[in-house]
Amino acid sequence: METETKKKTKEEKSFQRKLLWRFLKGSKLFFIISMLTAAVAALADMVSPQIIRMAVDNALGGKEADLPAYVQALVDRFGGFSYLGEHIWIMAVAILIVAGVKVLAQYCFRVYNTKGAETLTKTMRDQLFGHIERLPYAWHARHRTGDIIQRCTSDIDTMKRFVSEQMTSIFRILVLLALSLGFMISMNWKLTLIAMAPVPWIILRSFYFHKKIGAAFLDCDENEGKLSAMAQENLTGVRVVRAFGRERYEKDRFEAQNEYYTSLWMKLARPMSRFWSVSDVLSGIQIMLIVVFGSVYCIRGEMLPGAYIAFLSYGAIMTWPIRMLGRMISEMSKAGVSIDRVAYIMEAEEEQEHGLALAAPMDRDIAFEHVSFGYEGSPEILHDVSFTMQAGTTLGILGGTGSGKSTMMLLLDKLYELPEGGGRITIGGVDVKDIETGHLRKNIAMVLQEPYLFSRSIAENIGITEQDMPMERIREAASAACLDETVESFQKGYDTFVGERGVTLSGGQKQRAAIARALTQKAPIMILDDSLSAVDTETDARIRGALEARFGSASILLISHRITTLSKADKILVLDHGRIVEQGSHDELRQAGGIYQKICEIQSGSAEEVATA
Ligand SMILES: Nc1ncnc2c1ncn2[C@@H]1O[C@H](COP(=O)(O)OP(=O)(O)OP(=O)(O)O)[C@@H](O)[C@H]1O
Ligand SMILES: [Mg+2]
């Protein structure tokens, strides 16, 4: 999954802004409260040095104060500076009260910020998962699971941090900077100018740094995705890895990727360290400027000692935010990358109803009319495929590997859509494009070529097609799929827990569980894509018998490489490199002198026996 590194277009930016806004639903109020409380805390930070200044210069120093009217009024209410000078503890209490307000504001900030952050993360996860669930099958086939998972976890986390830490911090820093600037200018504008001299430099540097480092972060993120995809794929394919003794090879491959990924971070270490060290020096210079020039102004009598102390306090208070501003901006580049990566998923179009969304009856004839299809970016696979299948009959499909059998089924189930000019697939004369997707899929029970079982109990796996399916129906389906006896022989029966992807079941048991699952759907159309390949011929025959007996009225599409499986079908299609080369009944085809006859002869023995039985 490649993320575009090109400059974001206006539409992309506006999409991302809207996306963030949508994600903020439910957490906005929390963030507003947290920002307000952050502003109160910043204000409290600013007020303490002013009280100290008044205590030193006016209350103790006895100098005339030039204060705003409301502050003067407050001082007068407490008896004026001469009284406060004799009762200095009142000013100490005032500092304590301000500190108390700050603690309270900070407490509220943490609480509401955490609430906001967690609500935001939940909303993001829910929306992302919901969206991914609704994305077309074709999209999933194109993307790696490990990468999608990374986007749903660490990228979501980065976005959370962006809003709950970086945005609020930047707001807080800006408030703090604005307030301290205001207070400092009111005390001595010349010293303020000197003290602020390094600030634009610090901010510009971090800006430049953040721009440069963005590409490197993107590279790191993409390689982390590759690494987790590799690990995930390996865990999924653990059987293959073990069976072929490829542990060493896979370990080396993982290590190489891991080393490359680590080296990317290592490469970042130097510029990052340089950046932080220089930032430290700059902050030191800032304090030094205040100390040097402040002392000069004090000696010259242009500034009072209390104001000097307050200046130093502001300088110290600002050191942290100015340095953080650099960090926040540089971390924002990471968030930008994550937003890109999450937006990439959210931008993908959900499965759409492109037709009339009819709830057409499905127990009708199925027809492929001049169907030609190729996967995106690949050559054409199906060439002008046309056939009709009568409702309630069984259609067998035989064809070499890669001839396009599964593709035909995916097209029928609208898991891939036929492009314009690619022919038509109809059920009862209605184009599948015009049949509502949910309705279509509910009425087509599909057993995929590679059955997938969830790590849940056997009963849950079979009854997955409906919520709270009664046990009776599960048993009934299992018995039609000849799985009943096997399950009964397990110690925990239907409650037996199936290992991840069904590893604790045999291939044939897995296939039968998948068939049972499809049977619970009681659909008028059933697709068995090579679904009997892993069961022995006897069970194969029993399952087909049971299917016929119980689901005689259903239209069954039966893909198989086994002649015995296909022989009883009403009609058989032979597919060769995406073209239908033969069609007819078993009896017609086995004497037609084509591929079917050849395969019949190769598989002779048992095929002939069954056919003539
Ligand atoms: N998602 C995909 N993207 C691109 N090409 C694909 C995709 N899925 C399948 N193909 C290609 O399409 C061709 C037909 O695949 P399909 O799965 O339909 O074959 P099949 O007849 O079912 O084969 P088999 O008997 O082995 O199951 C193959 O060459 C395959 O490589
Ligand atoms: Mg197939």
The answer to whether 262 and 183 are in contact (CB under 8 A) is no
Q: Distance (Å, rounded) from C-alpha 188 to C-alpha 184?
A: 6
Q: Distance (Å, rounded) from C-alpha 433 to C-alpha 369?
A: 13
Please give the residue that has the higher pLDDT: either 59 or 559: 559
The DSSP element (H or E) to which 572 belongs, if any, is strand 571-576
- Segments of 379-503 assigned E as strands: 380-389, 394-399, 424-427, 430-431, 444-447
Residues with CB under 6 A from ligand 1: 141, 375, 378, 381, 399, 401-407, 449, 530
The answer to whether 360 and 428 are in contact (CB under 8 A) is yes
Query: CATH topology of 11-347 equal to that of 444-522?
Result: no
State yes or no: pLDDT of 563 exceeds 80. yes
Q: How many CB atoms lie within 10 A of CB 228?
A: 18
Residue identifier of the C-alpha nearest atom 19 of ligand 1 = 402
Expressed in angstroms and rounded, the spacing between residue 447 Cα and the centre of ligand 2 is 11
Unique residue bearing structure tokens 């990468």: 147
- CA angle, residues 147, 499, 1, in degrees to nearest 5: 10
Quote the pLDDT of residue 610: 46
Q: Where are the domains of the chain?
A: 11-347, 354-441+525-534+555-613, 444-522
Residue identifier of the C-alpha nearest atom 1 of ligand 1 = 141
Closest CA to 98 of 55, 151, 149, 150: 55
Which atom of ligand 1 lies nearest, measured to the CA of 400?
25
- Helices 198-236 and 145-161 cross at an angle (nearest 10°) of 150
The answer to whether 551 and 519 are in contact (CB under 8 A) is yes
Expressed in angstroms and rounded, the spacing between residue 415 Cα and the centre of ligand 1 is 14
Quote the pLDDT of residue 4: 45
| pLDDT tens digit sequence for 442-471 | 999 999 988 888 888 999 999 998 888 999
Superfamily for the 11-347 domain = ABC transporter type 1, transmembrane domain (1.20.1560.10)
Expressed in angstroms and rounded, the spacing between residue 408 Cα and the centre of ligand 1 is 10
The encoded tokens of residue 532 equal 């009997």
Q: How large is the average pLDDT for residues 80-105?
A: 92
Whether this prediction's pTM lies above 0.85 is answered by: no
Q: How large is the average pLDDT for residues 243-263?
A: 92
Quote the pLDDT of residue 450: 87
Quote the pLDDT of residue 1: 45
Quote the pLDDT of residue 65: 77
Return the ligand number nearest the Cα of 139.
Answer: 1
Q: Which residues pair with 371 in a beta bridge?
A: 385
Question: Which of 405, 577, 599 maximizes ligand 1 atoms within 8 Å of its Cβ, making it the mutation to test the pocket?
Answer: 405
Q: Distance (Å, rounded) from C-alpha 166 to C-alpha 364?
A: 60
Which atom of ligand 1 lies nearest, measured to the CA of 408?
18
Query: Under CATH, to which class is 444-522 assigned?
Result: alpha beta
> Between 2.40.30.30, 2.40.180.10, 3.40.50.880, 3.40.50.300, what CATH number should domain 354-441+525-534+555-613 receive?
3.40.50.300
3 state DSSP class of 548: helix
Please give the residue that has the higher pLDDT: either 606 or 265: 265
Could you tell me which residues come within 8 angstroms of residue 612 by beta carbon, excluding any fewer than 6 positions away? none
Q: Distance (Å, rounded) from C-alpha 237 to C-alpha 242?
A: 9
Q: Which residues pair with 395 in a beta bridge?
A: 557, 571
Cα atoms found within 13 Å of the Cα of residue 198, Cβ hemisphere only: 21
Share of the chain above pLDDT 70, in %: 95
State yes or no: pLDDT of 354 exceeds 90. no
The one-letter amino acid at 283: S
Expressed in angstroms and rounded, the spacing between residue 401 Cα and the centre of ligand 2 is 7
Q: Distance (Å, rounded) from C-alpha 68 to C-alpha 48?
A: 16
Unique residue bearing structure tokens 């960090």: 327
The answer to whether 154 and 222 are in contact (CB under 8 A) is no
Return the ligand number nearest the Cα of 373.
Answer: 1
Q: Distance (Å, rounded) from C-alpha 166 to C-alpha 330?
A: 10
Expressed in angstroms and rounded, the spacing between residue 401 Cα and the centre of ligand 1 is 8
Which atom of ligand 1 lies nearest, measured to the CA of 410?
18
Which atom of ligand 1 lies nearest, measured to the CA of 405?
21
Q: Which residues pair with 391 in a beta bridge?
A: none
Expressed in angstroms and rounded, the spacing between residue 363 Cα and the centre of ligand 2 is 24
State yes or no: pLDDT of 550 exceeds 70. no
State yes or no: pLDDT of 607 exceeds 60. no
How would you label 90-112 residue by residue, b for 16+ Cβ within 10 Å and e otherwise?
ebeebeeebeeebeebbebbeeb
Give every strand in the sheet of 555-559, ordered side by side: 444-447, 525-529, 555-559, 394-399, 571-576, 579-584
> What DSSP assignment string belongs to 313-360?
HHHHHHHHHHHHHHHHHHHHHHHHHHHHHHHHHHHSPPP---S--B--
The one-letter amino acid at 381: I
